[in-house]
Chain A
Amino acid sequence: QLQLQESGPGLVKPSETLSLTCTVSGGSISSSSYYWGWIRQPPGKGLEWIGSIYYSGSTYYNPSLKSRVTISVDTSKNQFSLKLSSVTAADTAVYYCARLLTMIVTHWGQGTLVTVSS
């Protein structure tokens, strides 16, 4: 059974870079059928797609975040990662990693809360 697990700091200072990793188990990140992505949800608010990556490294980013986002993949570790630079309090959210079939989110990680505060 496919499982995704987010890991990384739960507290990031303003202006710094948020870094998260998603470890995939029960399936290969190199599968040609799927994309892997990040979605976030500010407390009490809705969902926002951050971006997605194919195992080959091709990326797609939300235009509103594109200048600050980098998503990368490490097929040897079956992991993919998110970096979001120059964070502010508005970036405080639960961050989910996910598996996507084209633009359908088929599987979600449990989510990890990242708070931006000094």
Chain B
Amino acid sequence: QSALTQPASVSGSPGQSITISCTGTSSDVGGYNYVSWYQQHPGKAPKLMIYEVSNRPSGVSNRFSGSKSGNTASLTISGLQAEDEADYYCSSYTSSSLGFGGGTKLTVL
């Protein structure tokens, strides 16, 4: 059972925006600004997309953005493209440990 709760799937059409939520507790998401988001294409290693709630690593498109409110973090992808179709995982620091969400499959219709 994952420490963080994500929807199993989301979908959107090209050009639209979607948001993936990641719900934890005050002991993880709500208590620290160490929320990250990872993109994983089939058969590939995950890739860091957002760190520390809302920061983008160099090279990641500005179509990806992150935010947090209370115990829930969110990843928003704007201007959906076919290449965005992938699994997305959130993670958060908690008590000297790292917890992951169960993952969300994004389908671009």
Contact = CB atoms under 8 A, between A and B. Distances in A.
- Looking at B45, B93, B99, the one whose CB has the most chain A CB atoms below 10 A away is B45
Interface class of chain B by DSSP = strand
26 contacts: A46-B89, A46-B100, A46-B102, A47-B38, A47-B46, A47-B100, A47-B103, A49-B97, A49-B99, A60-B96, A96-B45, A101-B51, A102-B93, A103-B91, A103-B93, A104-B48, A104-B51, A105-B36, A105-B38, A105-B46, A106-B48, A106-B57, A108-B45, A108-B46, A109-B45, A111-B45
Interface in B43-60: 45-48, 51-52, 57
A75 interface: no
B98 interface: yes
Interface of A: 37, 46-49, 52, 60, 62-63, 96, 100-106, 108-111
B99 A46 contact: no
A40 B68 CA distance: 26
Contacts of A63: 97
A118 B59 CA distance: 44
B101 interface: yes
- Looking at B2, B34, B93, B98, the one whose CB has the most chain A CB atoms below 10 A away is B98
Nearest to B51: A104
